[in-house]
Amino acid sequence: MKSSEEISEIKEAIKRIALENAIKHEGKAQVKPVLGRLLGERPNLRAKIKEIASLTGEIVKEINHLTLKQQIETARKLWPELLLKEKEKVEEEKKLPPLPNVEKYEQIVTRFAPNPDCVLHIGSARAIILSHEYARMYNGRFILRFEDTDPRIKRTALEFYDLIREDLKWLGCTWDEEYIQSDRMEIYYKYARELLEKGHAYICTCRREEFKEKVQRKQPCPCRSIPPEQNLSRWEDMLSGEYGEGEAVLRIKTDLNHPNPAIRDWPAFRIIDTEKHPHPRTGSRYRVWPLFAFANGIDDHLNGITHIIRGKEHLTNQKRQEFLYRYLGWKYPEAIHYGRLKITGVTLSKSKILQAVEEGVYSGWDDPRLATFRALRRRGIRPEAIRQMMIDVGPRPADITLSWKNLYAYNRKIVDPIANRYFFIDEPKRMIIKKVNRDFTASLPLHPDDPKRGRRIFNIKSRDGEAHLLISSRDFNRLREGSLVRLMELFNVEVISKKEGCISAEFHSEGYEEARRLNLPLIHWLPDSEGISCEVFMPDGSVVKGLVERNLHQASVDQVVQFERFGFVRIDEIKESVKTFFTHE
């Protein structure tokens, strides 16, 4: 056997490794990795593996009994370097990879350019957060640009300008400048004329199918060779209403041999009958509207965007816009194209969301079944969680799939230390406990890691030797005759009989030690005299009804709290009754 000095030294080493492991894993160390590390550091201990393993088991248990906060305090006292490492790692994870060619620009300018045809949802989070974060990282500017030049199909509506601004503010992505494309029509017209004059564009009056057929065969349509003067007069006719919808488009000349037919002489302006489809901001003032690739390309240059951060589905647009930039003598901004980000179980189709909200399938933009920022906000998802997740995903070009669970893990890290705990009894059932011969007082912390926040006190009266409690129907269904169960922080009971929504039970013992010895399940409860009626709106559209403890009156609207053994919820309304939205488990 080793000397006691050696043993205490080994114990110290195990404690250090276990603490580091526990802090890394939200307060719970695992024996296996701790043992592995120890044997890695001290291979000679392999000879005594059995003893060492049981010693490690004991120490890990001790460490896990501490709260995360206590673990961190202990580490800070004994091995501050453990925390340093952890901190450095966290900061390292937060950082985005550098942008290319930063040194070429005086100031980095990025943008987010939504179409105000819907509220924003999680599918836009990456473009917004990366663009904003890069601008901040380089002390640059972040621009918000509303791209609202399609009054017919991607129909803009006035309400969305403000809703989008609110979404961005909630995300913490404030912008330094704002542009609205429908204010800039004369600018686009000016460049249209310039391109026509220089022979880089033409007005095509062919039927769409005819043009398409020709261009597929890499052949020009007859309009391509008309002289600039005639093009300019056709342009004026477009503006003045000589042509109807679909009768004329302005096309940018490209390479008719370009391998991608979608690039060949792409359309930059078309006519929209704004008498029929008025624009919400400009009414029927304009009939000739730029298409996305044109207005977006022009503005990126005029807004001084240095770095465009967007999905790779925009690569075709870049190819289109490069012709434009060449003709105008401009340099194309740095463009970073990230891969597809799929989020499983989420409806991200704007048209589907719009339709369903309009038809009343969803209660509004913040219906908990939606993945709009407004819905996430109402459910208690914190913007920092979304932000951190997107920064970790970064601008990588590979496709990636995330799920709700990933987002919940980020959010849990943020809300768990903040959320106070309460008892919520969903679909309450009665439990009458006999042989309760005195009154009891149960006291539970508002937060297990932070005793300073105070405690919740319950007084349980003995009425003729009986205590009357409520338990959740989930627990009710699990309990059988003869089951022993511990009522959290109160006492242990035995189920005697069960009928018609009521359990008869008997006092068994008081102490937690006894419950631990017998390995009893712990359930939560409420005195039957106590309880505010409470609804929880679930992400699947269902509503769970129950009672929540009276102490919840100390909480306030908008707080995220944890209903013990149920999940985190955001408080939406506290009146006579309480309304909450389910966040996650």
Q: What does the binding site for Zn ion look like in residue numbers (CB under 5 A)?
A: 204, 206, 221, 223
Contact 141, 109 (CB under 8 A): yes
Question: Between 80-94 and 68-78, two packed helices, what is the crossing angle to 10 degrees?
Answer: 120
Alpha-carbon Rg for the chain in angstroms: 33
Measure the N-to-C terminal CA separation of the chain; round to a whole number of Å. Answer: 48
We find the least distance from the C-beta atom of residue 222 to Zn ion, in angstroms, to be 6
Between 256 and 391, CB nearer to Zn ion? 256
Place of tokens 């564009």: 201
Contact 180, 160 (CB under 8 A): no
Contact 111, 314 (CB under 8 A): no
Between 221 and 407, CB nearer to Zn ion? 221
We find the least distance from the C-beta atom of residue 195 to Zn ion, in angstroms, to be 16
We find the least distance from the C-beta atom of residue 213 to Zn ion, in angstroms, to be 11
Contact 376, 539 (CB under 8 A): no
Between 29 and 288, CB nearer to Zn ion? 288
A 10 A CB-CB count for 12 gives 13
Between 224 and 474, CB nearer to Zn ion? 224
Contact 64, 24 (CB under 8 A): no
Between 206 and 268, CB nearer to Zn ion? 206
C-alpha to C-alpha distance for 508 and 395, rounded to whole angstroms:
59
We find the least distance from the C-beta atom of residue 226 to Zn ion, in angstroms, to be 9
We find the least distance from the C-beta atom of residue 215 to Zn ion, in angstroms, to be 10
C-alpha to C-alpha distance for 306 and 351, rounded to whole angstroms:
32
Between 246 and 465, CB nearer to Zn ion? 246
We find the least distance from the C-beta atom of residue 211 to Zn ion, in angstroms, to be 5
Between 265 and 300, CB nearer to Zn ion? 265
Contact 200, 252 (CB under 8 A): yes
Q: 186 CB contacts (<8 Å, ≥6 apart)?
A: none
Between 201 and 308, CB nearer to Zn ion? 201
C-alpha to C-alpha distance for 282 and 185, rounded to whole angstroms:
10
We find the least distance from the C-beta atom of residue 183 to Zn ion, in angstroms, to be 31
We find the least distance from the C-beta atom of residue 216 to Zn ion, in angstroms, to be 14
Contact 459, 439 (CB under 8 A): yes
Q: How far is CA 55 from CA 10, 34, 46, 74, in A?
A: 9, 11, 13, 20
We find the least distance from the C-beta atom of residue 200 to Zn ion, in angstroms, to be 16
Between 132 and 214, CB nearer to Zn ion? 214
Residues 196, 199, 205, 211: what is their CA dihedral angle, to the nearest 10 degrees?
-130
